Structure 1
Amino acid sequence: MKTINFEALFSASPNPYVLVDLSLTIVGMNEAYLNVTMREREDLIGRNMFDAFPSDPDSPSHRQLRNSFEKVIREKLADHLPLIEYAIPLPNGQGFEERFWSATHTPLFTHAGEMTFILQHTVDVTELQRLRVLARSSGLSSGPSALIETDMFRRAQAVQEANQALTEERQHLRGLFEQAPGFMAALSGPDHVFTMANAAYLRLIRRENIVGKTVREALPEVVDQGFLALLDRVHRSGQPFVGRSIRIVLEPSSGGAPEERFLDFVYQPVFDPDGKVSGIFVQGHDVTEQKRNEEALRESEERFRVIANSIDQMIWATQPNGSHDYYNQRWYEYTGVPEGTTDGEGWNGMFHPDDQDRAWGVWRQCLETGEPYHIEYRLRHRSGQYRWVLGRAQPLRDDKGRIVRWYGSCTDIHDLKMAQEETRRLASMLTERVAELDEANEEIQRFAYIVSHDLRAPLVNVMGFTSELEAAQAEVDRFYRNVLERDPGLVTQKARTAVEIDLPEAIGFIRSSTVKMDRLINAILKLSREGRRILMPEPLNMSQVLEAQRQSVAHQLQERGADLVIEALPDLTSDRFALEQVFGNLIDNAVKYLDTGRAGRIVVRGRELGENVQYDIQDNGRGIDPKDFERIFDLFRRSGVQDQQGEGIGLAHVRALVRRLGGSITVSSQLGQGSTFTVILPKYLSMNSEAA
């Protein structure tokens, strides 16, 4: 059974106190209790209350006392017995002495709220009870005996009320003591015995059950750190000790690593009525976090200075009112001014005269509103030239939202500024040039349309006369055959060659040329019409669009024994007719120029590229010479062996359409391996994005 140094708690109290645990085992008492019970401490410590003071279990006093203890344990509230008869045994077995008591039973709790002990405060009212009995036995209902009885009970009631008030006040003070935000403890005597310690103190030292122990016993690790010597000095001198940010290393009794803390505390001596130091009151605050933080701040400021002086930007800081008090080395290197000359408001004189009023106005507005500072102005360089810089600043606020500092930077953007002006100038020129090209393109389209119409008229005549020549050639051929049958001698060799070879060959050449010319004119008209057609964007399922293209070349694929594979394709919103022509031309070319020496394979695949989509048309055909990658997109230009029908317009038409749709087309290829045409288009085509 662990004992409590009860004398240290109530040694100075004249009233009897005894402390029992929840099994009603006596764990401590003060000297006054031993005096009224006429017992020795060793006879009581560790014994049950009813074993140490036996009584008849069926007696009213026994039941009254036990019921009071049980009520305190059950309800965890103090209970009062105004009057209880309870005899106490006399020393040396001399029998029992009848006694009357007024008792208060108070529950005691740990800082975690767990009830651990019951404190019994007793007042011996035997004499008062005897007076009361004497008064009653006299048979007098009035007069001196009645007055004595009345006064006796008035005094008893006053004592009981005083006990109740003391108990409530003690509980109130104990609650304040426990709930105090700072740590507090009370030490008694020259050995510094703990008589009280609040929850904050126990959390700090990470220990419990220190009441009744000396500092040396409860906190042995602090002895060599000088704290016990400080307590001894305060106890001897009677002078308080005040410590600020004092370092202490605590070792938890439950094990674990030692913990470093920093404390602000006071050792305040407590004096008895004779003016002598009877104990020390300890009160303070754990300032470990604050200590580690105003330190973290110093380290942060040092890091800030190192970083600020290692970067290319000019860094500065100001007080809350905007007065500059810090510049990094880049500022002085850039401006060439002596250190300190631009502190306060001297910085404004470094700006171009035309920018000073504007810069100061923006800065003043930011100081008034707390808004971030952002401005471009011309700053005087050490060369004397004014160069454009970008100024930025952000306020630093405390936990209450008040601005405590401003931190800013200046970045030289002069070259960027000049480049932007040049870019704007070039953009203006480009806009004018594009307008000119658009106008020229319109003229070309109109010209192509007119020319194609003008060419078609004589071509129709040529084609008509060719038909007449073909009819005349048939008559000449019949006449020639008749002459040859009747009189071969009339047919000369020249006539034979003219009729049989030259005339058919000339008419055939004219016919093929007019047909080719007709196709060419039709293609030019088609290009002209397409250039003027208004694009109509609509949501498109590209898998369906490409499936329709596969059906259109199904016969050619079957003839060549080739496959067209369409993989998963992203959808887009664009002009359906234009896309059908783009992919129709590319797939038709891929089929047309497959390598007859191997099975043909064409694959169409796609993927998303942010705001764009990419489509690849890959084949294993003849391939294209790298030198022809660009020329194949030119009008009337073709590449490789010319064994397939065509006018050199298809790819030029494809590129024109892709550009009108806001996209681009490129090719990659290896001769004998195959080609891949890559088309990149915007996901969403708007009328404003048309690139015509």
Structure 2
Amino acid sequence: MNYQEVFAAIPDAIVVVAPEPGFKILTATDAYLEVTMRRLEDIVGLKLIEEAFPDKNVPYNQNPVVLSLEKALNTKRTDSLDVIRYDLERPEGHTFEERYWEASHIPVLDEQGEVKCILQKSADVTERELAKRAQASSEEKFRFMTDMVSQLIHTADANGKLTYVNQRWINYTGLPFEEFLEKSWAEVVHPDDYGGMMLQVEKALQQKKGFQVEVRIKGKDGRYRWHIINSQPMLNENQDLIMRLGSTSDIHDTKMMVEELLATNEQMATLSDQVALAFQKAEAERLTLERLIMQAPAIFAIMKGPLHTFTLVNPHFQKLWPNRDFLGRTIAEVVPEVGEQGYISILNNVFATGEPFTADEIVVVMDWEATGKEEERFFTTTYHPLLEEGKITGIIVFGYEVTERVRLRQQLAICEKGLN
């Protein structure tokens, strides 16, 4: 029986090296040759690290593969490596493939207990490691985007247990991230509101539907303020509940304003109810986060370069100007009206200084409906610098229209003035 042929056919990636300094290659399995893109005749007799697979980025005496081989040789025991990166050069040219490996070094002993060779058993784990990196990158982008929005954002699993809250939740409640997730809603929601809220949560979980509830939430100063919590389900193709995504927004001042108006004059009760319903509808439409960014119920856009060229706009942004094409064009080209009202200078300052800018209830005057008649609309907008490799390359625009809220407040002010 030809044992060399049997060894070569082993389905594992194995290379055999001599125990003397340099660890010269003696033979290898076909699986090893395939995964390393080498031919046996080209590598036999070469020193494993110095000649066959050199690494110019790491000194020889610090190379983790060399250290592991020496440990296996000295201890006469198997030694395993953590995941390492070693890019392979393709045979046809000077191009490299990014690769990640796990390896074990197994000493083979003779009858006297001395090491006569060492087996290196390798596993190409590139696909797994790249998937882990992609997942980590995706999670980092998700955290970045949720931290940029003005709402308090949370996610929950299919059982309703909190799995994530954005930084605005942490800042508002003063609770550490892990403590917030552990204590969940019971720690922050007012005791008188908690039971009713959880009934809605359970109903929504059973029916796989969204829900909206008004509750009082405790801030880090110990005071409670009224908020609207809106939660929407995420279902897979089989309509199984994967997770829930929720947003929370402060409505305390408006709610107090409405309650004061009701208390001032009972005759205003009907009007106040109508105002409250109109406000809740406007807030629900604005705050519903069915999906982040492209499905977020808010204005979101990315502009690149000093001329502020649009590279991304979500449907809510496009909806403001349905007949205008944004992508690949500058803001001055697409919306010249905002330049005349001073907004481009704001963008220029954010791009130049890297300082975020928040415009609260700013007014924009335009012919929105292409009727020839200009109209005021109000927006709350955050302009945040987009950093890539430490440099400002663009601006992230996030905001929402607050025209109804402003007009509501104006209406309430007129009503209060009429009562005095």
Q: Where on the TM-score scale, by shorter chain, does this alignment land: which range?
A: 0.3 to 0.5
Per residue, is there more helix in 1 or in 2? Answer: 1
User: With CA pairs under 8 Å and 6+ residues apart, which has the higher RCO, 1 or 2?
Assistant: 2
* Rg comparison, structure with higher value: 1
Give the TM-score of the pair, scaled to structure 2.
0.46
Per residue, is there more strand in 1 or in 2? Answer: 2
